[in-house]
Structure 1
Amino acid sequence: MALHILTSLSGSPGVTSTALTWAQVSDRPTLLIEADPAGGSPMLCIGWGGAHPHDRSILDLAVHPTTEYVERIWELAIPLPGRERQAWLVPTVGMAAQMKSLMGVFGPMGEALARISRDSHVDVLVDIGRLGAAGASTQLWQYADTVLLFTDTTLAALNTLAVGSPALVDELDGIGARHRLAVVPLLGDEKGASHRPYGAREIGGITDGVPVLTGVARDAKAAGSRVWGKRGRYPLSVKRLIAGVDQHAREAHAVLGGERAPA
């Protein structure tokens, strides 16, 4: 199995809803780690409809030795409704100010998550939110099999992608991990195709060789629901994305070498 980092350069391109839907429609066990520095756990809110208290978070790891992180992560993990033995969530912090206490946590947490994905045969998805606010959570990148950069496909969002992605490429180059990076576009809109007219080919022209994976269908109603089905445009597009990410992870591993190959 593999460890995937999900992030974006601008707000609301579908990172959180895609991660939740991925965990629901995947054929494999999936562990969600919500590490968005904004806090408040939208995953917990959407997934349980506000019925589950925010009584645990990644912040709890800060009071334990790093050698215990694998065990502690599983203790914190909450089974997702409908997939109790197949998908779990560890929520993010309650408020942004608490992220300051996690400066020394993300590195060893990344190592622990890589062990979980390898030894427990679980896909691990880490939502680090918007990249400009990610801070210390970028320490996770060196342990990831893929880094997935989500983008809306409006002209404004693609301008942000063109301006901001070179810095991310340079940072990943610095740890020998450029080939782990891929762009995931959010496609379609209820306002009509003319509002988001750009597809993978056009987006690939501004990413300087970074691969553009199959896009996720934009469906605000389905993405915001806590009742996931496996049919319909939105969940089917997420299933296609999973297949595309699996292939990208295999290709990245082939380029980079390494000790383990994603399943």
Structure 2
Amino acid sequence: MYLALISASGAPGVSTTALALALNSPSSNTLLVEADPIGSSPVLAGYLLGGRYHDKSLINLVDANRHGRLKSALAAEVITFPDTTVSVLPGLLHSAQVDAMRAVWSPLGIHLAGLGVDDANVIVDAGRIGQHGSPVEMIVNATTIAIVTRTTRPALAALRASINGLRQQLSATQSTASLGLILIGESPYNADEVAKVAGLDVIAVIPDSKDARVFSDGEVLTKWRRRRSLYLRALHRTTWPKIEKFAATHQADWKSSLAMTGDRR
């Protein structure tokens, strides 16, 4: 499975959700890629509390790609989380590096798609739709692209404004990715209402909970609180099965759009 997470508005929780899904992945081999063009590593700064020195970064793949060493270089740039089989490819050091990545996004996306064919799960935190340097050429190779959003009026307005542009990009590349929504909470609008407004199916709903801070800020939950956390229970029991079911039952979104308009090109 190759899952790309993006957003249509600021700070809905893409990075937190990507990490939470990675650390609760049913696969014995999971890779999280921090590809938000704004740079930095929210995983290392937040979840790992900024206490781990490293010189690994997405930017180091630029020279490797130029010399045909992308595959081997990727393996050397990841950091494995302690006591897990989950690894992370840290993001750019700063946003000024994003232009250097233009030639890397497409071959990296093809390589990640190959990794996701087997039993591995690849999760990409791709940042915000339409942002300068957005890694569209990479995420078009995904199995599923999930737009992470809250359900407030401003968030849904931004979502509606962004969808057509993204669909055009998927169509232009004839991407095979299915496109859906991951909701953070169902207030003030529920999944059915959001799906109707957006014209996209909801993949899963993740509770809007303070317990997400265990992934965003490295907060430690007590054993009692972990057992009772609706957020953690949703990740373990329902979210991944719903993502896998969505990928199996939904076709490429641009094909759906063409079918709706009667275009048979």
Question: TM-score if structure 1 supplies the norm length?
Answer: 0.85
Asked whether the 8 Å contact 1:58–1:90 carries over to 2, the reply is: yes
- Report the AA paired with residue 4 of structure 2: I
Partner residue, 1:218: 208
Asked whether the 8 Å contact 2:26–2:240 carries over to 1, the reply is: no
Q: Would the alpha carbon gap of residues 114 and 178 (structure 1) be closer, same or farther in structure 2, given more than 3 Å must change?
A: closer
Which deviations, in whole Å up to 9, do the C-alpha atoms of 1:43-99 show, x marking residues without a partner? Answer: 11123111112421110011114642222111111011331xx10000101110011
Q: How far, CA to CA, are the matches of 1:143 and 1:179 in structure 2?
A: 7
- Report the AA paired with residue 216 of structure 1: I
* Aligned residues between the structures: 245
Q: How far, CA to CA, are the matches of 1:107 and 1:255 in structure 2?
A: 19
Q: How far, CA to CA, are the matches of 1:104 and 1:171 in structure 2?
A: 17
Asked whether the 8 Å contact 1:8–1:149 carries over to 2, the reply is: yes
Partner residue, 2:108: 109
In the alignment, structure 1 residue 170 sits paired with structure 2 residue 168 = yes
Partner residue, 2:250: 252
Asked whether the 8 Å contact 2:21–2:235 carries over to 1, the reply is: yes
Q: How far, CA to CA, are the matches of 2:80 and 2:176 in structure 1?
A: 33
- Report the AA paired with residue 78 of structure 1: I
Which deviations, in whole Å up to 9, do the C-alpha atoms of 1:15-43 show, x marking residues without a partner? Answer: 11111111112221210000011111111
Q: Would the alpha carbon gap of residues 77 and 198 (structure 1) be closer, same or farther in structure 2, given more than 3 Å must change?
A: same
Percent identity between matched residues is: 28
Matches within 5 A, 1:32-111: 32-65=32-65, 67-83=68-84, 86-111=85-110
Matches within 5 A, 1:112-151: 112-119=111-118, 121-133=119-131, 135-151=133-149
- Report the AA paired with residue 62 of structure 1: V
Q: How far, CA to CA, are the matches of 2:139 and 2:123 in structure 1?
A: 12
- Runs of 5+ consecutive residues of structure 2 not aligned to the other structure: 256-265
Asked whether the 8 Å contact 2:140–2:176 carries over to 1, the reply is: no
For the aligned residue pairs, the C-alpha RMSD in angstroms reads: 2.4
Q: Which of 219, 227, 235 does residue 232 from structure 2 map onto?
A: 235
Tell me the SS of whatever aligns to 2:135: helix
Partner residue, 2:261: none
Which has the larger displacement, 58-67 or 154-163? 58-67
Asked whether the 8 Å contact 2:167–2:254 carries over to 1, the reply is: no
Question: Offset of 1:133 from its aligned partner?
Answer: 1.4
Question: TM-score if structure 2 supplies the norm length?
Answer: 0.84
